[in-house]
């Protein structure tokens, strides 16, 4: 067996055997296959796809490319993962909420991919927050405080770590077999007993329409079943960005505000839906409506916010920013984006907002790119808002004046403003 033959087989639209998939994953992880060869195979998979059996084999090979964590000593661990979005700060908010119900949160998160953000980049905008704990430290923290969120360690699904970074820089992100194997391999390796998946759908997500989102959801649910991990997928709307900020420290601030009770409507709906299913899987209540109320109670009584503090501090993060947001790095230039006419915002293309945020430095174009935590976009107006000509729609936060002005112009073009009020959007589209 050799990699050239495997690449040619997929290039010619043939099915790969379990052995071929394992050969590729093992040898790429061990650096016996070069990045350019892996890139060719990944692109062939992206273009020609994989069936259910190939995808399951790829997932299992990736999961077994490193250690498989055993979290059984922690009890029922319900993991959550998102297929990625713009302004997606759900983990930052949901992790302490779930932990406030005494459900252990032992989560491994990723960095940004393509134009979507990553939880780890967001957490790294908190001064001194340590994302790279050893597995022993990670488990110890969960035992001590009920919560820890770290980056994928090299030992856990290392094949995914390499492939994820590679896909990002070769424009091979939006693929059902690649996304489902990436997510499910990490979930299997990370040792969760049950999984809730946020499958984002819309222009700012990897899945652009409900049909593809459903396909991805069903594929991941199937893999979950095969791995004996109960899995629920919630398809959520990603036509416009989630919440009002896009950019790392800006999103941390929005998350803290949420936990203090200042909730953006779309973020609130997604949090309540995902959170309620996590409570259900953890055995904390069968009734979704009642679970939503329980979550709101733990926000109102401050328990979720307290957990956030305990969590960040236990991972060495400096929590003094909670009293004074100025302690987080600030962008040098803040430029308003003004409405060009009267009317209603009818569209705010999430992908374009994600690209603007990335252009400002909040995301990566090359895998070595350094993230600027302080830059990004604050959206004062979203779809459905009435606006007057000259009113402020958004702010660009940037470190370079020229870039700030050029991206403000770009964002102005992204806002579609028309006379007729659009239909209210649905934030949760389907539960599978």
Q: Candidates 179, 205, 207, 379: give the one binding ligand URA (CB under 6 A).
A: 179
| CA dist list (Å): 89 to 118, 268, 428 | 9, 11, 16
Q: Of the listed pieces 28-36, 174-182, 398-406, 421-429, which binds ligand URA according to CB under 6 A?
A: 174-182
SS (H, E, C) 126-170: CCCCCCCCCHHHHHHHHHHHCEEEEECCCCECHHHHHHHHHHHHC
Q: Is 236 in the site for ligand URA (CB under 6 A)?
A: no
Residue whose CB is less far from ligand URA, 16 or 190: 190
Q: Of the listed pieces 89-97, 123-131, 176-184, 312-320, which binds ligand URA according to CB under 6 A?
A: 176-184
What is the nearest approach in angstroms of ligand URA to the Cβ of residue 352? 19
What is the nearest approach in angstroms of ligand URA to the Cβ of residue 264? 22
Q: Angle CA(285)–CA(291)–CA(293) in degrees, nearest 5? A: 145
The residue from 80, 81, 111, 381 that is catalytic is 81
Residue whose CB is less far from ligand URA, 83 or 427: 83
Q: Of the listed pieces 178-186, 215-223, 374-382, 386-394, which binds ligand URA according to CB under 6 A?
A: 178-186
- The question of whether 186 is a catalytic residue gets the answer yes
Sign of CA dihedral 211, 216, 220, 222: positive
Q: DSSP assignment of 262-282, as one string? A: ---HHHHHHHHHHHHHHHHHT
Q: Is 84 in the site for ligand URA (CB under 6 A)?
A: yes
Applying CB under 6 A, the site for ligand URA has a residue count of 9
Q: Which of 378, 310, 318 is nearest to 348 (CA)?
A: 378
The rounded distance, in Å, linking the Cα atoms of 79 and 231 is 9
CB 161 within 8 A of CB 152: yes
- The question of whether 358 is a catalytic residue gets the answer no
The rounded distance, in Å, linking the Cα atoms of 397 and 407 is 10
Q: Candidates 182, 231, 291, 357: give the one binding ligand URA (CB under 6 A).
A: 182
Round the CA-based radius of gyration of the chain to a whole number and report it. 21
- Near ligand URA in 107-136, by CB under 6 A: 110, 113
The residue from 160, 168, 198, 266 that is catalytic is 160
Q: Is 351 in the site for ligand URA (CB under 6 A)?
A: no
Residue whose CB is less far from ligand URA, 238 or 404: 238
What is the nearest approach in angstroms of ligand URA to the Cβ of residue 88? 10
The token duo for 430 is 């389907």
User: Residue 424 CB: number of other CB atoms within 10 A?
Assistant: 9
Q: Candidates 3, 183, 197, 360: give the one binding ligand URA (CB under 6 A).
A: 183
Q: Is 279 in the site for ligand URA (CB under 6 A)?
A: no
- The question of whether 215 is a catalytic residue gets the answer no
Q: Of the listed pieces 48-56, 62-70, 86-94, 175-183, which binds ligand URA according to CB under 6 A?
A: 175-183
The residue from 10, 141, 167, 229 that is catalytic is 167
What is the nearest approach in angstroms of ligand URA to the Cβ of residue 58? 12
Q: Is 83 in the site for ligand URA (CB under 6 A)?
A: yes
What is the arrangement of strands in the sheet containing 245-246, beginning at the earlier edge strand?
245-246, 376-379, 392-398, 333-338
Listed in sequence order, the residues at least 6 apart from 370 whose beta carbon sits closer than 8 Å to its beta carbon are: none
The rounded distance, in Å, linking the Cα atoms of 116 and 224 is 24
The rounded distance, in Å, linking the Cα atoms of 415 and 409 is 10
Residue with tokens 């990436």: 182
311 SS3 class: helix
What is the nearest approach in angstroms of ligand URA to the Cβ of residue 208? 14
User: Residue 341 CB: number of other CB atoms within 10 A?
Assistant: 11
Residues in the chain: 432
What is the nearest approach in angstroms of ligand URA to the Cβ of residue 200? 9
Residue whose CB is less far from ligand URA, 110 or 247: 110
Q: Of the listed pieces 177-185, 249-257, 299-307, 349-357, which binds ligand URA according to CB under 6 A?
A: 177-185
- The question of whether 81 is a catalytic residue gets the answer yes
What is the nearest approach in angstroms of ligand URA to the Cβ of residue 178? 6
The rounded distance, in Å, linking the Cα atoms of 171 and 285 is 42
- The question of whether 167 is a catalytic residue gets the answer yes
Among all residues, which ones are annotated catalytic?
A: 81, 160, 167, 182, 186
Which residues of the chain form contacts with ligand URA (CB under 6 A)?
Answer: 83-84, 110, 113, 164, 178-179, 182-183
């Amino acid at each position: 067996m050799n990699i050239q033959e495997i690449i040619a087989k997929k290039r010619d639209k043939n099915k790969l055997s379990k052995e071929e998939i394992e050969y590729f994953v093992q040898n790429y992880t061990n650096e016996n296959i070069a990045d350019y060869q892996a890139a060719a195979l990944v692109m062939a998979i992206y273009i020609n796809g994989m069936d259910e059996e190939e995808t399951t084999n790829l997932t299992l090979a990736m999961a077994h490319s490193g250690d498989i964590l055993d979290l059984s000593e922690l009890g029922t661990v319900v993991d959550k993962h998102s297929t990625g979005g713009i302004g997606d700060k759900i983990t930052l908010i949901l992790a302490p909420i779930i932990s406030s119900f005494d459900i252990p949160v032992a989560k491994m998160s990723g960095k940004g991919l393509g134009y979507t953000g990553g939880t780890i980049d967001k957490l790294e905008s908190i001064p001194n927050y340590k994302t790279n704990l050893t597995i022993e430290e990670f488990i110890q923290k969960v035992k001590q405080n009920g919560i820890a969120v770290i980056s994928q360690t090299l030992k856990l699904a290392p094949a995914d770590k390499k492939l994820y970074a590679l896909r990002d820089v070769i424009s091979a992100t939006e693929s059902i077999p690649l996304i489902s194997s990436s997510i499910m391999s990490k979930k299997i390796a990370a040792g969760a007993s049950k999984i809730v998946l946020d499958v984002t759908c819309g222009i700012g997500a990897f899945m652009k329409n409900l049909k593809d989102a459903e396909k991805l959801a069903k594929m991941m649910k199937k893999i979950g079943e095969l791995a004996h991990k109960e899995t629920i997928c919630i398809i959520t709307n990603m036509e416009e960005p989630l919440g009002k900020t896009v950019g790392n420290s800006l999103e941390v601030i929005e998350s803290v505000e949420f936990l203090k009770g200042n909730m953006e409507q779309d973020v609130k709906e997604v949090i309540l839906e995902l959170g309620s299913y996590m409570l259900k899987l953890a055995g904390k209540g069968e009734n979704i409506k009642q679970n939503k109320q329980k979550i709101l109670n733990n926000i109102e009584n401050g328990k979720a916010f307290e957990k956030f503090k305990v969590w960040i501090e236990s991972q060495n993060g400096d929590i003094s920013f909670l009293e004074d947001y100025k302690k987080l790095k600030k962008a040098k230039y803040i430029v308003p984006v003004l409405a060009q006419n009267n009317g209603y915002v009818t569209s705010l293309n999430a992908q374009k907002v994600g690209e603007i945020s990335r252009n400002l430095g909040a995301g990566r174009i090359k895998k070595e790119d350094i993230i600027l935590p302080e830059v990004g976009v604050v959206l004062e107006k979203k779809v459905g808002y009435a606006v007057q000509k000259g009113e402020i729609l958004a702010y660009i936060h940037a470190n370079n004046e020229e870039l700030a002005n050029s991206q403000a112009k770009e964002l102005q073009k992204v806002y579609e403003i028309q006379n007729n009020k659009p239909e209210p959007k649905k934030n949760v589209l389907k539960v599978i």
